């Protein structure tokens, strides 16, 4: 049973007083999380309260993510200046879409060549310090590439921005990844949990991550699927296709149903390139 407190008159008075005092929204979220509110519930309550929504916040189940209109454009085909990508399938809760023919075979091969010369052991963000660390749950090799690496990266960055209708400057550098035999990434989220101290450092560089595009660069002989375990969804890598999913709504909530994993490669190798999209302009570290 959840211990999420009820947002009653006492909490409303507390929130009004601290907003008048000039407290940041994140400091208010931190205080509510410390008092046993679910992070999503705290974000939703504050966003609705600031917007003047007088409905009873306490009636919502704690932490429930509110689905609105997806950021991904409508229609069965997404268009860019140099590409048309068919939606092979879509899912509404969570918002997931598989797009065909986003990259050509030659582009996939070139990205693999670029990656093969650069990849190193992959890391993750430490939840406490914000530093990059290696963990047993992520077995892969990766490298970030940008316009200075190859002209192809510039072309792909522009194409993805046009397909998903997000500003090109909000995208992080393209991340090329290789998974060998046994390579995997156990269930995880792509967004930064705001209640973790280590997330703050990364969110200063463009805000929260709001969406992910995974480009599949080769056919995996066996294994290497992308799965969403909480919704029973499994995607088999297909060269040139792209998997899109989004996980932040207008209230600032993050969608826990986008928990996903890369299953172990059983035969061959797996190459992907990932584009993470931020709320604002992304700034690479010097």
Q: What is the pLDDT of residues 168-214, one digit of tens each?
A: 999 999 999 999 999 999 999 999 987 777 788 889 999 999 999 99
**Pair 58, 6: CB distance under 8 Å:** yes
Of 25-39, 80-94, 145-159, minimum mean pLDDT range: 25-39
Distance CA 195, CA 127 (A): 9
Confidence grade of residue 130 (pLDDT, cut at 50, 70, 90): low
For each of the domains in the chain, give its residue range(s) and CATH number, in order of start.
9-59 (no CATH), 77-278 (2.60.120.620)
Instruction: Indicate whether 58 pLDDT > 50.
Output: no
Give 81: exposed, middle or buried? Use CB within 10 Å, 0-12, 13-18, 19+: exposed
Range 73-100 average pLDDT? 97
Copy the structure tokens of residue 232: 């029973």
Which helix (H) or strand (E) element contains residue 262? strand 260-262
pTM, two decimals, is 0.80
Q: What is the CA radius of gyration of the chain?
A: 20
User: Of 245, 221, 242, which is closest to residue 101 (Cα–Cα)?
Assistant: 242
Q: Is 286's pLDDT higher than 60?
A: no
Taking the C-alpha atoms of residue 205 and residue 282, their distance in angstroms, rounded to an integer, is 6
- pLDDT-derived band at 135, boundaries 50, 70, 90: low
pLDDT of 237 over the 80 cut = yes
Instruction: With beta carbons less than 8 A apart as the criterion, state whether 140 and 122 touch.
Output: yes
Give, for 270, the enclosing helix (H) or strand (E). strand 270-278
């Amino acid at each position: 049973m959840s211990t999420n407190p009820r947002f009653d008159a006492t909490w409303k008075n507390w929130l009004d007083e601290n907003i008048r005092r000039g407290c940041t929204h994140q400091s208010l979220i931190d205080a509510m999380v410390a008092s046993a509110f679910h992070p999503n519930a705290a974000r939703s309550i504050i966003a609705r309260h600031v917007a003047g929504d007088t409905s009873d916040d306490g009636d919502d189940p704690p932490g429930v993510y509110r689905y609105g209109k997806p950021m991904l454009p409508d229609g069965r085909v997404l268009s860019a200046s140099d590409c048309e990508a068919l939606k092979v399938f879509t899912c509404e809760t969570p918002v997931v879409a598989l797009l065909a023919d986003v990259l050509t075979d030659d582009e996939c091969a070139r990205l693999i060549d670029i990656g093969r010369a650069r990849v190193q052991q992959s890391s993750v963000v430490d939840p406490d310090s914000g530093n990059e660390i290696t963990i047993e749950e992520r077995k892969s090799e990766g490298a970030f590439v940008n316009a200075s690496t190859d002209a192809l990266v510039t072309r792909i960055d522009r194409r993805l921005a046009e397909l998903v209708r997000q500003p090109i400057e909000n995208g992080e550098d393209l991340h090329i990844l290789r998974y060998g035999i046994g390579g995997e990434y156990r269930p995880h989220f792509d967004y930064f949990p705001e209640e973790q101290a280590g997330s703050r450092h990364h969110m200063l560089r463009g805000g929260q991550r709001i969406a992910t595009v995974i480009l599949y660069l080769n056919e995996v002989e066996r294994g290497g699927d992308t799965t969403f375990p909480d919704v029973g969804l499994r995607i088999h890598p297909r060269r040139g296709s792209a998997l899109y999913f989004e996980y932040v709504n207008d209230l600032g909530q993050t969608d826990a149903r986008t928990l996903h994993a890369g299953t172990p490669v059983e035969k061959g190798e797996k190459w992907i390139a990932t584009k993470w999209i931020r709320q604002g302009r992304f700034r690479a570290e010097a």
